[in-house]
Structure 1
Amino acid sequence: MALPASSFPTLLFFLFLISHPRCEAAESFSHYCSYNRPTTPAISKSIAKVLSALVSKNPPKRLNTVSFGGGKSKVFGLAQCHRDINATECKSCIEDATAQLPHLCPGQADAGAWFDHCFVAYDHERVPEQHGTGF
């Protein structure tokens, strides 16, 4: 069954919309994982809490550090946005980064990732460094 000629422009427009989404998630252009420091269930819980806290703190500050847990399960986190982006872009980048980072370094207690507009990291021994982000 052939489509009527009048349906062709509508079909092209629909195909264009599918192939060009309006919003795209931030993608990591570089990341690091410390493969010699695996997580434990307690550290994994602390990582999840730290990442959640980083999302809730951005904005207003462009640089935030948080920690969660105690003793051997304590985890430190850092989120930093590039100076030249607005608060909405900052929050969006931090949300995307905190969602992706555990998947970039599964099961690791020390990880960080650079995105176009932000840097996010967590570490179970110390506050993560910016690692030359230039932000």
Structure 2
Amino acid sequence: MLSIIQLDSTQRITLALKLSSMLFLFSSALSANSYPTRANIFIYAGCSQEKYQPSSPFEANLNSFLSSVVSSSSQVIYNSFAVGNDSSESSEGAVFGLYQCRGDLRPIDCSKCVGRLVNQIGLVCPYTTGASLQLDGCYLRYEHYGDFLGKLDTGLRYRKCSKAMASDADFFRRRDDVLADLQSANGFRVSSSGLVQGYAQCLGDLTVSDCSSCISDAVGKLKSLCGSAASADVFLGQCYARYWVSGYYDESGSSHNDQIGKPVAIIVGVFVGLAVLVILLSICKKSMG
């Protein structure tokens, strides 16, 4: 049975302040727990033709690699691994690989993105001795041989060009300013000029000079392949560059599962807000009469 608690005016005010604080904390928690859903968007994948046998040494080393990737991603946005190459007996099952998150992701979001990569790469490339998977916010690659690590690769993996802009001299000037600035990237770089924004990133295993060469190549391809597009993405083997007009990217491309949480959070927030409002009005009414 519920008991009725009688409060004096000071206690009522204190309770009202606490309830307001609870609502603020709840709203903050919703924001803090929100995940940049664009990070999950699939960009491209590549699978080798060679397969490995289930329960083989390669599979065991691959599972060890993927486990290490998950553990590491909560601490650093890039890491590379070599598993099973410490003796001639195990070289047949050796696995070399790396992962990298976009430079602006928080560690917790990097870990979530990489977790998706690990869960999906075996479905996209089942039983292959080499695979790569690029999501919007993170990248994963493994191979049977490690000769790709640290080696400059500017081969085109993916490009996307939006519809062309009308002849807008200001847009092209600002786009070129952004792209020129991105070419000075050493790792991850964000740039903007007016309404044009962009960013570029190299894999963490590239030297400064190789990173510069890779992004210069990516920028050149953006211009040659996408021309006057309002937005464009170019992903090469070890780097990528992107630009867009502010407001072009929204959450419409996010997966259905990611969108489910938004209305749920809004509905819960509304009910909590209404409950607090009713209590506050009741307290005010009692205080006034």
Contact map agreement 1:78 1:128 (CA 8 A) in 2:
no
Aligned residue type for 2:240: G
Work out whether 1:88 is the aligned partner of 2:102. Answer: no
Aligned residue type for 1:34: S
Tell me what 1:39 maps to: 52
So what's the TM-score if we normalise by structure 1?
Answer: 0.74
Structure 1 27/128 Cα, relative in aligned 2: closer, same or farther at 3 Å? farther
Contact map agreement 1:28 1:97 (CA 8 A) in 2:
no
For the residues of structure 2 that align with 1:48 and 1:128, how far apart are their CA atoms? 20
Cα RMSD (Å): 2.2
Contact map agreement 1:119 1:133 (CA 8 A) in 2:
no
**Within-5 A mapping of 1:68-87:** 68-69=83-84, 70-87=90-107
Work out whether 1:133 is the aligned partner of 2:146. Answer: no
**Runs of 4+, deviation exceeding 4 Å:** 22-25, 127-130
For the residues of structure 2 that align with 1:125 and 1:45, how far apart are their CA atoms? 16
Identical counterparts, % of pairs: 23
Deviation at 1:27, TM superposition (A): 4.3
Structure 1: stretches of 5+ with no match in the other structure: 1-21
Contact map agreement 1:85 1:117 (CA 8 A) in 2:
yes
For the residues of structure 1 that align with 2:103 and 2:67, how far apart are their CA atoms? 22
Deviation at 1:127, TM superposition (A): 5.8
Structure 1 84/132 Cα, relative in aligned 2: closer, same or farther at 3 Å? same
Work out whether 1:65 is the aligned partner of 2:80. Answer: yes
For the residues of structure 2 that align with 1:128 and 1:101, how far apart are their CA atoms? 19
For the residues of structure 1 that align with 2:112 and 2:78, how far apart are their CA atoms? 14
Tell me what 2:44 maps to: 30
Deviation at 1:76, TM superposition (A): 1.0
For the residues of structure 2 that align with 1:114 and 1:47, how far apart are their CA atoms? 18
Q: Which of 22-31 and 89-98 deviates more?
A: 22-31
For the residues of structure 2 that align with 1:110 and 1:128, how far apart are their CA atoms? 11
Match of 1:54 among 50, 55, 69: 69
Aligned residue type for 1:60: Q
1:33-83 alpha-carbon deviations (Å, 9 max, x no partner): 011x21132211111110111000113221101122231101012010011
Greater radius of gyration (CA): 2
So what's the TM-score if we normalise by structure 2?
Answer: 0.36
